[in-house]
Amino acid sequence: MKTVVIVLLSMILGGTVAYYTFSNKPDDPSPVVNVDEIRKVAKLATIEYHMTEVNFFKKPPVGMEWLPAEILVIMKGVISAGVNLKDAVIKVNEQKKIITLVVPKSAILILSVDIPPNGITYKTLSDPNPFHKLNDKDFEKAFKQSRAILVKAAESKDIKGKAKAEGKTILQGFIGALGYTADIQFDKN
């Protein structure tokens, strides 16, 4: 009697395992496309420029003063640019296996401007006005002006264009790995 029960339990267990093993598998296992994952991958496409710029800041004369005060600013920093797909339109065509991304021009942007504490040097060239000496506000203005010049220099070296190309390459590789064809379009607006 024991052997009949053991054989019967073995058959039931074996049938259950076989049923779940062979009946629930799809014929074509394909990856699931997750739009949020595509957006996360786009964040990996970042271009960094390590730059140094020199700026001469002039504080204009006030009142009866006739000479401007001048500060030499040397700024070293890292400018990062990338693609932000937050406002992009992403369409998935499951039948044709195509993922279309329409990326607005505003999605290609400067992500950060990092200037380390030792990345800025100030040198007072002239401070001829005894009643309106250079102060912290003037150095802050010199810093902001120099930072803007650093960003413009990065833009003149086409940092956004390189971030766009890098983003397109990384997204095409990721989408291709999912078994889809990427159709990435960047708006001109």
Q: 59 and 68 in contact (C-beta within 8 Å)?
A: yes
Six-digit token string for 114: 């990092």
Task: Give the pLDDT confidence score for residue 10 in this predicted structure.
Answer: 40
Task: Give the C-alpha separation, 61 to 130, whole Å.
Answer: 11
The pTM for the full model equals 0.70
Look at residue 6 and tell me whether its pLDDT is greater than 60.
no
Instruction: List, for residues 94-141, the tens digit of each pLDDT value.
Output: 889 888 989 898 888 999 999 998 999 999 999 888 888 899 999 999
Task: Give the C-alpha separation, 184 to 168, whole Å.
Answer: 7
For residue 95, the 8-state DSSP code is T
Six-digit token string for 83: 């693609």
Instruction: List, for residues 131-181, the tens digit of each pLDDT value.
Output: 888 999 999 999 999 999 999 999 999 999 999 998 888 888 888 888 889
Task: Give the pLDDT confidence score for residue 175 in this predicted structure.
Answer: 86
Look at residue 88 and tell me whether its pLDDT is greater than 60.
yes
Three-class secondary structure of residue 19 per DSSP = helix
Task: Give the C-alpha separation, 145 to 142, whole Å.
Answer: 5
Task: Give the pLDDT confidence score for residue 74 in this predicted structure.
Answer: 96
